[in-house]
Amino acid sequence: MSRMRRRVAITGIGCVTPIGTGVDALWEGLRAERSAVTAITRFDASIFRSRCNAQVDFDPTHYLDERRVKRLDRFGAFSVVSAMLALKDAKLDLDQVDRDRVGTMMGTALGGVGYAEEQAGRFMQGGLRAVDATLALAVFGGASSCNIAIEFGITGPNSTNAMSCASGTIAIGEAFRRVRDGEVDVMLGGGAEAPLATLCFGAFALIRAMSTRNDEPERASRPFDTDRDGFVMGEGASVLVLEAWDHAVARGAHIYAELAGYGTTNDAHHMTAPLPDGTQAARCITLALADADVSPADVSYVNAHGSATPLNDPTETLAIKRALGAHASRIPVSSTKGYYGHALGASGAIEAAISALALDRKWIPPTLNLETPDPACDLDYVPQHGREASPDVVLSNSFGFGGINASLVLRRA
């Protein structure tokens, strides 16, 4: 039996990022056009070739009571606080809605593994008695969406996926489908990541995926630049309030943007390298555009995955050109990872928030540190400084390990 597809509004943005916590701080951080990447101070990184990261200045007790904080690791606290900020931003009173028709979907690459690593150290030094009794409840990825549900009494659909660096985008896309298809009226969708621990970091250092520009950390993340040498690991979270359009209008909510389309595919090629011809990434974009019922010529800005790895950036360029055709060279494209590094599963959710803000506030953020564009990345990648603009349709891409591709299409409200 077919259902009428409902329009989906983005009515709230909550985020915990290296450039700011909360929607206004995030925006101020973007407009400042400065990188938050620094040398690692959280642990001894001297054994690694890569020694820079993007950390969040975050104290969960500013948002949650101490008793609650004791039951959450950093990953869980990121999740709950970003959801809290999103609901506050949306001015959504959950006592005024049917909580059975409110759900949450989150994404994370590593979940609470960083906390598990810390607890493993305690175990080695002091035995089982030294281990936090909440470890089993904190380490699994589903702790993200489940802690949000418990905190806010949300009893609708609940899931956390672990699809690497595309997981936040996938979570938002799947949450979008639940609202669009009438299963619920409101979904919280996003991603959270807290990977800045010695072994988590070291795992990516082993595969030489990260930048070694240690003497200039603020210039280390260089999407689409000829001198890029890998991504910079970051941390953080972002949650969007997705709401049925008529539901949002009826309560007088501010609508940042319409979430209109979602697509996902798999390269079926390699665990770390993208499919060289970009065909499946391009098909992902095409599926998202078709889902939104927009043509390639309608797209007016692309927020690229742009991880600053040698293989990803030219492959994404090729995918955008395949999907958008000649129109690809006529529109601005940027990656915002130069600001806050790559927060793995949270990155796509942060970038979806930025895409919504670009539509709402009519400004396109730049690609920081893009000084000498790689000839293989020959689109209009906005360098250094943002542009005043009024995009109507924004495409946001995320590509991850395992060949995962995910794209969202947003429209101006």
pLDDT digits (tens, 9 = 90+) for 267-301: 999 999 999 999 999 999 999 999 999 999 999 99
Catalytic annotation, pick one of 15, 52, 305, 377: 305
The percent of residues above 70 in pLDDT, for the chain, comes to 99
305 is known as an active-site residue: yes
Q: Output the CA–CA distances (angstroms, integers) from residue 195 to 73, 89, 380, 399, in the order listed.
A: 12, 27, 32, 18
Domain-located, residue 338: yes
Same domain for 178 and 295: no
77/68 Cα distance (integer angstroms) = 9
Domain range for 143 is: 8-250
Domain-located, residue 385: yes
Domain-located, residue 256: no
- If pLDDT is split at 50, 70 and 90, which confidence band does 4 have? confident
Same domain for 228 and 101: yes
Two tokens at 376?
């293989």
Q: Kindly report whether the global pTM for this prediction surpasses the value 0.85.
A: yes
Q: How would you class 2 by CB atoms within 10 Å of its CB: exposed for 0-12, middle for 13-18, buried for 19 or more?
A: exposed
Q: Measuring CA to CA, which residue among 147, 411, 404 is closest to residue 260?
A: 411
Domain-located, residue 3: no
Same domain for 300 and 242: no
Domain-located, residue 2: no
52 is known as an active-site residue: no
Same domain for 305 and 232: no
Catalytic annotation, pick one of 165, 200, 284, 377: 165
Same domain for 290 and 162: no
Same domain for 164 and 82: yes
- If pLDDT is split at 50, 70 and 90, which confidence band does 358 have? very high
Same domain for 278 and 240: no
Same domain for 122 and 225: yes
Average pLDDT, the chain: 97
Domain-located, residue 255: no
Instruction: Report the CATH number at residue 280.
Output: 3.40.47.10
Last residue of a domain, one of 215, 250, 285: 250
Answer whether residue 2 shows pLDDT above 60. Answer: no
pLDDT digits (tens, 9 = 90+) for 182-239: 999 999 999 999 999 999 999 999 999 999 999 999 999 999 999 999 999 999 999 9
Answer whether residue 88 shows pLDDT above 80. Answer: yes
Last residue of a domain, one of 199, 222, 250: 250
Domain-located, residue 229: yes
For residue 144, the 8-state DSSP code is H
Same domain for 274 and 235: no
Count of structural domains, the chain: 2
| Per-residue confidence (pLDDT) for residue 3, from 0 to 100 | 63
Same domain for 184 and 308: no
| Per-residue confidence (pLDDT) for residue 53, from 0 to 100 | 98
Same domain for 285 and 152: no
Catalytic annotation, pick one of 52, 284, 342, 377: 342
Last residue of a domain, one of 229, 250, 271: 250
The upper half-sphere exposure of residue 381, i.e. CA atoms within 13 Å in the direction of its Cβ, equals 31
Same domain for 349 and 234: no
Crossing angle of helices 198-206 and 113-126, in 10° steps, is 120
Helix count and strand count (H, E) for the chain: 13, 17
For residues 60-82, average pLDDT:
95
- If pLDDT is split at 50, 70 and 90, which confidence band does 318 have? very high
Domain-located, residue 278: yes
